[in-house]
Structure 1
Amino acid sequence: MDTQHDLVAAEDVLLFVNAAITATGQREFHTGAEEQRLSLDFLHAYMLGNYRELYAAALALDINDHNAALIIHRLLATGREATAEQRRVEGRLIARRLVLLPPQRVYRLFRALRQAKVNNRRTRAVVRDWIAARPDPAFDAVKYRGGLKEALRHAHLAPASEELGTFFFAARTPARFATPILDTWRRAHYEQAALYELPYTVAEGFAARRGIARGDFLERIAPRMTRLEQLRLQESGRSHRAGAVRADLSRMPLTRLATYVLALAPADRVARRAELTAALRSAARRAAGPQQGSWGRVAAVLDDSYSASGSGQKRRRPLAVALACHYLLQALAADYTPLWTSGSDDPLLSRPFGATPLGRRIVDALDTRPDRILIVSDGWDNAPPGLAAEVLRIWRTRLDPDRSTSIVHLNPVYDAEGFDVRRLAPTVPTAGIRDAEDLPALVELAAFAEGRTGLAELTQHLAARTATFTEVTT
């Protein structure tokens, strides 16, 4: 039987996991960036000091890249405080997580470790092993030149080849490199055609220095761009003839695709309705995988109120998560009822508008007698305030004490003041959500937040996730 200490510990871990999924240290609709960073720093310090093993195990969960990098940094900086067994498990978790992080994020982490003067033997080994596993050292040398150069110096490593050493550290560029991409980089300094053979982010700098028209540059560099680079340009670069850069929307991740759709003008969404809807449904089916159609009767309460507009740094992010969850739940459910807070029945034309009548929509959802209710909202119930909490309380304690209907609240916004995502009611579990693709795993994790399971079960769950997560590297 769990003691009071165990229950508090389980609550602390779940609180941190919610923060690590949703918080990025950036401004949200209700709180500023500095509040976010201070709140998040406190949580990391608290977890590391009190639950080091569980803190490290969070790397095996669906936390965001920002918090994964912060965890790795703190674990490497405090290796002396860990036991030999803790260091062994942490090493496997760190190695596996670094493989999953975008390379630019890893190089930023290595730079932060250097600036913090974290240079112990374990840190140098982590840097060495990650760099050694990179598939194309010459490509990294060109695309991430500054980051790789700093990492080599910090870990006291020699470049993978003599030519890379010359590329990084020689005072003068030689007349020719034998490695094609290195020689292309050299030629791009004086030959305009060569820059179109480089990675997009590198070529962009050369194009700016040469004064090449943005539209002309984008049109010619398009074949060298990654899928995400193409999508970013489609989201933000239409004024620069970015229409010439056409991404394959059917291959885009679901939440990223939802973000792109919401960035389009309503007229564009209407004109491309068939294409966009097909792409969203295809991405949702990929995310649902073998669970497609297995969730029975599902009702979703989806928040498209004004606060779903997010902030300047996270523009329309809460609404994008809700839109992506809508299509994913449509794929998971055998019978699906979506209920937007605005009353809209056209998800493709969603926009952040109006108040948040969550209580009324939850009543509508309960009327459908579903097997599951998913609420995707930042938790600011204000039309009228508190109605959602009261509806959920009465439903759980009086009308459905046997929990025949599963209710989970998924919140995409971190509340810095509460050190957690904002909750609707104590009787309903709340989990933070960053990407809709993580929804099935988060619904499973939310069961621990109901208070019916304690630290032992949560620890066992994290151990199982850690074993599955690290088995690739063992």
Structure 2
Amino acid sequence: MESFGDLIAADDVLFFVNAAITATGQREFHSDEGAQQLSLDFLHAYMLGNYRDLYAGVLALDINDHNAALIIRRLLETAAEAIADQRRSEGRLIAGRLALLPPQRVYGLFRSLRRSGVNNRRTRALLRDWLSARPDLALDAVKYRSGLKQALRHTHLAPGDAEVGTFLFAPQSSAHYDTPILETWRRAHYEQTAVYELPYTVAEGFAAKHGIPRGVFLERIAPRLTRVERLRLQQTARQHGPAAMEAIGTDLSRMPLTRLAGYVLSLPAAERVSRREELTGALRTAAARVAGRHRGRWGQVTAVLDDSFSSYGSGVKRQRPLVVALACHYLLEALAGRYTGLWTSGRGDALLAHPVGPTPLGERILDALSTAPERLVIVSDGWDNAPPGLAGEVLRVWRTRLDPDRRTSVVHLNPVYDATGFDVRRLSSSVPTAGIRDAEDLPALVEIAQFAEGRTGLAELRTYLDARAAQLPPIPQRPAERSPR
């Protein structure tokens, strides 16, 4: 039997996981940037000081990149406080998580470690092994030159390739590079044709230097664009005429579900209507891809989806809560054998969703329970205000009086971190609440909800974290030569 301290620890970890999934330190609808950052910093300090092992173990979960980088930084900054076993397990977790982070995030992490003066042996080994696993370090040198250069200089490592080293530290000293991407970069300083052979983010600067018209640049750089870049440039291309639009194009059916939902909601309502078949088809294809082998196996599912005014989010996270709700709508439709989606506004056309009105969650939950679902999923920021507290009371009565045997599984997924409560806002103590960042994480979050319901304790939670840690990609160990600098 677990002690009271174990139960507290399990609860604290789940508390932190919700924050690490949803919080990014940016302004939200109900709190400003300063409050978000202060609240998040406190949670990280609390977890590191009280549960170092569990704090590191959270790296194996589907937390957002911002918090993953914060955890890694704090673990490396306090490496002297860890015992030998902790250093070994933390090293594996950090290396595995670094392999999943976008390269610009990793370089930003090592830049922050440089500012903090962290340059211990473990930090140098982690960077060495991460760099040795990069598929094309020359490409990194071109795209992330400043970050790579600072990281190597701080940790006293050499890139292993002499040309890359020359490019980073004395780029103008070579009249020719044998590495194609480096030679293309050199030529792009005086040849406009070379600009279009570079990655978009690098070519953009050269296009401005050469005074290339934006429309012409977009047409000619189109073959070099990634899927995400194509999606991001749709509106810009539209402003520069049909030729640019045709060149940019994009296969929406291949886009990630949550990112695609964000694109759809960025379009004017009239365009969504005119492209209804295309957009709906793309969303359903993306949702089916996420559902995978679970497609159609969740039985009868009803969702309550929040499209109230607060789902606008903020200027820096515009419509993010609504984006997550829309993506969850299509994913739950794919997972369910029979599906009903209920929006708080009462509207029935998901494609035309937009932030509007109060949040009558209680009424919609009553409507949802009347469908007798096997699973009820609520996607909301938890600010139930029409009338306040009705949702919590409905769920309490349902759990204690009408469905004590839990024939209906209920879970609340919240995409917004509540800075004042140090957690995502909950509707009821009788219903598990989990933070959600991307709809793609929904199946795993429903699995994690069993811990939040109190059905399992610290031992099971540790086992779950260990199992997730085993799924992290390994980093190949390959020594790198020391820099002569």
TMscore range, shorter length: over 0.9
Deviation sequence 1:207-242 (CA, Å, 0-9, x none): 112222212111111111111111111256643456
> Which residue of 371, 374, 377 corresponds with 1:368?
371
Q: Using the alignment, how far apart are the partners of 1:103 and 1:167 within structure 2? A: 19
Q: Using the alignment, how far apart are the partners of 2:103 and 2:470 within structure 1? A: 24
SS at match of 2:412: strand
Q: Using the alignment, how far apart are the partners of 1:235 and 1:454 within structure 2? A: 49
Q: Using the alignment, how far apart are the partners of 1:466 and 1:206 within structure 2? A: 42
Larger mean CA deviation between 158-167 and 426-435 belongs to 158-167
SS at match of 1:355: coil
Matches within 5 A, 1:140-179: 140-170=140-170, 172-179=172-179
Q: Using the alignment, how far apart are the partners of 1:171 and 1:282 within structure 2? A: 46
Question: 1:349 corresponds to which residue?
Answer: 352
Matches within 5 A, 1:180-259: 180-234=180-234, 238-241=238-241, 243-244=245-246, 245-259=248-262
Q: Is the 8 A contact 1:92 1:473 kept in 2?
A: no
Q: Unmatched 5+ residue regions in structure 1?
A: none
Deviation sequence 1:387-426 (CA, Å, 0-9, x none): 0011001001111111110100000000000000000011
Q: For 2:14, give the aligned amino acid.
A: L
SS at match of 1:197: coil
Q: For 1:228, give the aligned amino acid.
A: V
Change (3 A) 1:297 1:127: same
Matches within 5 A, 1:289-438: 289-438=292-441
Q: Are 1:262 and 2:265 matched, yes or no?
A: yes
SS at match of 1:373: strand
Name the TM-score, length of structure 1 as normaliser. 0.98
Change (3 A) 1:94 1:342: same
SS at match of 2:472: helix
Q: Using the alignment, how far apart are the partners of 1:401 and 1:433 within structure 2? A: 27
Name the TM-score, length of structure 2 as normaliser. 0.95
SS at match of 2:152: helix
SS at match of 2:196: helix
Q: Is the 8 A contact 1:96 1:473 kept in 2?
A: no
Q: Is the 8 A contact 2:306 2:343 kept in 1?
A: yes
Q: Using the alignment, how far apart are the partners of 1:419 and 1:239 within structure 2? A: 43
C-alpha RMSD of the superposition: 1.4
Question: 1:63 corresponds to which residue?
Answer: 63
Change (3 A) 1:236 1:445: farther
SS at match of 1:279: helix
Q: Using the alignment, how far apart are the partners of 2:23 and 2:136 within structure 1? A: 33
Q: Offset at 1:243? A: 2.4
SS at match of 2:355: coil
Q: For 1:202, give the aligned amino acid.
A: V
Q: Unmatched 5+ residue regions in structure 2?
A: 478-485
Q: Using the alignment, how far apart are the partners of 1:13 and 1:272 within structure 2? A: 44
SS at match of 1:352: coil
Q: Using the alignment, how far apart are the partners of 2:235 and 2:468 within structure 1? A: 35
Structure 1 runs of 4+ aligned residues shifted over 4 Å read: 470-474
Q: Is the 8 A contact 2:35 2:419 kept in 1?
A: yes
Question: 1:117 corresponds to which residue?
Answer: 117
Q: Using the alignment, how far apart are the partners of 2:378 and 2:258 within structure 1? A: 17
Q: Using the alignment, how far apart are the partners of 2:131 and 2:78 within structure 1? A: 22
Q: Using the alignment, how far apart are the partners of 1:465 and 1:398 within structure 2? A: 37
Deviation sequence 1:141-185 (CA, Å, 0-9, x none): 111111111111111111222212221222733221111111111
Q: Offset at 1:134? A: 0.7
Q: Are 1:443 and 2:422 matched, yes or no?
A: no
Q: Offset at 1:89? A: 1.2
Q: Using the alignment, how far apart are the partners of 1:130 and 1:187 within structure 2? A: 30
How many residue pairs end up in the alignment? 474
Q: Is the 8 A contact 2:95 2:474 kept in 1?
A: no
SS at match of 2:29: coil
Question: 2:21 corresponds to which residue?
Answer: 21
Q: Is the 8 A contact 2:376 2:410 kept in 1?
A: yes
Q: Is the 8 A contact 2:95 2:475 kept in 1?
A: no
> Which residue of 436, 458, 479 corresponds with 1:455?
458
SS at match of 2:341: strand
Q: Are 1:133 and 2:133 matched, yes or no?
A: yes
Q: Offset at 1:466? A: 1.6
Q: For 1:396, give the aligned amino acid.
A: R
Deviation sequence 1:299-358 (CA, Å, 0-9, x none): 000000000011111011100000000000000000101000011111011111111000
